[in-house]
Amino acid sequence: MPGVAAYESTFNALEPALRAAGPAWVHDLRRQGLDRFRALGFPTLREEEWRFTRTRPIAELDFAPARESPAVDSATIVARTFDDAGCLRVVLVNGRAALPAGQPLPKGVWIGSLATALTERGDRVRAVLSRGVDLDRQRFAALNTAFLTDGVFIDVTDNATVEQPIHIVHVTVPGDAPTMTHPRLVVAIGRNAHASVVESYVTTGGGPYFTNAVSELRCGENATLTHCKVQREDARAFHVAMQHAVLASNSRFSTLSVSMGGALVRNDVHTILDGEGIDARVDGLYLAGGRQHVDSHTFIHHAKPHCHSFELYKGVLDDHARGVFNGRIYVDPIAQKTDAKQENNCILLSDDARINSNPQLEIFADDVKCTHGAAIGKTDDEALFYLRSRGIAAQDARDLIVYAFASEVVDRISIEPLKQGLEKEVFDWLEQARAARG
């Protein structure tokens, strides 16, 4: 089994090139990442955080860094994501970013490749990169850091606003042998600044390949950040992603993680409410069939008083799919008047589908309102009978109910073309699931 040693030898072979890419402090960070990953190794099922998710299939394959690949044309991107004509688009092909020339940016806003940012605005990046990401615990983030070369840097300075949504498209063009990418997204939203960011993970098809992404989001005082991540990887892909958001006072933050593709998917979504009066929304939607495995681990940390967090994760599992939801909410002793609500609802479309849902509330303040709920089931019989009694065939009625269930999350998206695109994708997913059942 290649395991950790394989990554180390890949790193050693690449090191001269890595060292040359960007300032010295970045390379120190890479070395630190590699050390941490080497020390932690791949997780085992004995670890609480990985109890239901077996990463052995990833450890068993020998992934080579994905090669540079020609640009992917716009039509392919639209076909695999959504009609993003109104967006500022940044495309990463096999982890390398390219911002199409000629897109005018608003004043006080910098959007571009992280590799460029490291050389051209190293100090700005240094102020935020890897701040708060706990490499001592987050082994895959540590691995990402070890291979950190490119990604996207979005720097929206104080009082600036980006009207158009920023669409970051990660395209993997797989090779003959298994490949990996370690993309890094760094978003810094200054005071009173506003932006919305969509991350799409897609492929031109094929595999296996391994996407190991880290997204760092920082929201300044009274800023607004709307974030959405949509994962549509190949059925043979492994997708591990760590998202770390740090929010300052009176900011408004919403994040949605949609997971549709991939053989093995693990999302860690951490949201740190590090100021007062924050409004945070953390949503998720996962659709899985076949033998897909989708693990969502969320962590919401209320570190200051008077904040509100609302979390809604919904899942639809078919065939032999397996879902894991672990929702941890941690309320510090000083975080009085916290209002936190969490819900995880899941529909199982087959007897062989399974979900492990685990809410974890750790509350150390005494004047708070925290609730959680989980509902797991099949489609509601009452609703099904109601629709059928109006002439709608059983299977159509079931699909309609599942569609409606999923749309509660999709409907919240404020970026209209993305919302419409996802509505259609949920619908198509149901059609395919139905066709697969025969």
Partner 1 sequence: MLEIKNLHASVEDRKILKGVNLTVKAGEIHAIMGPNGSGKSTLAQVLAGRDTFDVTEGEIILDGESILELAPEERATKGVFLAFQYPVEIPGVRNNYFLKTALNAVRKARGETEFDAMDFLKLVKGKMKLLKIDESFMNRSVNEGFSGGEKKRNEILQMAILDPKLCVMDETDSGLDIDALRVVASGVNALRSPERAIVVITHYQRLLNYIVPDIVHVFVDGRIIKTGGKELALELEKEGYAEVAG
Which among 67-75, 245-253, 264-272, 392-400 is the span making contact with partner 1, rule CB under 8 A?
392-400
**Interaction of residue 434 with partner 1, rule CB under 8 A:** no
Q: How far is the CB of 422 from partner 1 (least distance, A)?
A: 14
Residue 56 or 412: the one with the smaller Cβ distance to partner 1 is 412
**Interaction of residue 393 with partner 1, rule CB under 8 A:** yes
Residue 105 or 383: the one with the smaller Cβ distance to partner 1 is 383
Torsion angles phi and psi, residue 102, rounded to 5:
85, 5
**Interaction of residue 427 with partner 1, rule CB under 8 A:** no
Which among 184-192, 257-265, 351-359, 401-409 is the span making contact with partner 1, rule CB under 8 A?
401-409
**Interaction of residue 385 with partner 1, rule CB under 8 A:** yes
**Interaction of residue 390 with partner 1, rule CB under 8 A:** yes
Q: Which of 72, 401, 418, 422 binds partner 1 (CB under 8 A)?
A: 401
Cα–Cα dist 136/271, whole Å: 18
**Interaction of residue 363 with partner 1, rule CB under 8 A:** no
Q: How far is the CB of 382 from partner 1 (least distance, A)?
A: 5
Tokens of 436: 């697969």
| Interface size with partner 1, residues (CB under 8 A) | 25
**Interaction of residue 407 with partner 1, rule CB under 8 A:** yes
Residue 220 or 284: the one with the smaller Cβ distance to partner 1 is 284
**Interaction of residue 408 with partner 1, rule CB under 8 A:** yes
Cβ atoms 3, 55 nearer than 8 A = no
**Interaction of residue 333 with partner 1, rule CB under 8 A:** no
Q: How far is the CB of 389 from partner 1 (least distance, A)?
A: 5
Residue 367 or 382: the one with the smaller Cβ distance to partner 1 is 382
Q: Which of 5, 13, 79, 394 binds partner 1 (CB under 8 A)?
A: 394
Which among 189-197, 277-285, 322-330, 397-405 is the span making contact with partner 1, rule CB under 8 A?
397-405
**Interaction of residue 383 with partner 1, rule CB under 8 A:** yes
Residue 168 or 397: the one with the smaller Cβ distance to partner 1 is 397
**Interaction of residue 423 with partner 1, rule CB under 8 A:** no
- For partner 1, the binding residues (CB under 8 A) are 380-383, 385-394, 396-397, 400-401, 403-408, 411
